[in-house]
Amino acid sequence: MKGIYLFFAFATCFAPFSMLSAQESALPKVFILGEEEQVYEKLTRDYEETLLGACDGNMELAVEKWLGMMQEMESYAKKIRFELKGVKLWVHVFWNTDGTLEHIGFRLRPDSRNIRPEELGAFLSSFMNRYKFPVAHEKKYSHYVGVTFPTFLERVEK
């Protein structure tokens, strides 16, 4: 009898993960880079345009918009009392043509503050439901970059 309970406990805990792999379905809105590689590779092919391309090759504009999103993310974290200080990660962000966030893939860097990936994923999911990137483009676009919190901004005047 004890074996049956253990089987059901195991199946209940891991069923969502095994079903996702078996179905080879779409990635969740927020996912960990390095998992579900085949689906991720297809997603990257569907988002051929980059943030720089969506900003018509204007590097200054692309950096300004990206840093603006990082500032909004930090403001949102502060508002909901979620601590981002010391978090370092690689992120791959995917936007729809209207600037809404479609997916965020992330992987914590080895030098990051210790944080549970599930908590960071929940934060990112909550953020992306409330934020719209201020760049619209005729194609879906993405950006892959390393991120460190807090974001320090220093503008050098010309």
User: Residue 76: what pLDDT?
Assistant: 97
Residue 14 has pLDDT above 90, yes or no: no
Domains of the chain, by residue range, sit at: 25-148
How much is the average pLDDT of 128-146? Answer: 96
CB 153 within 8 A of CB 63: no
Least confident of 20-29, 88-97, 146-155: 20-29
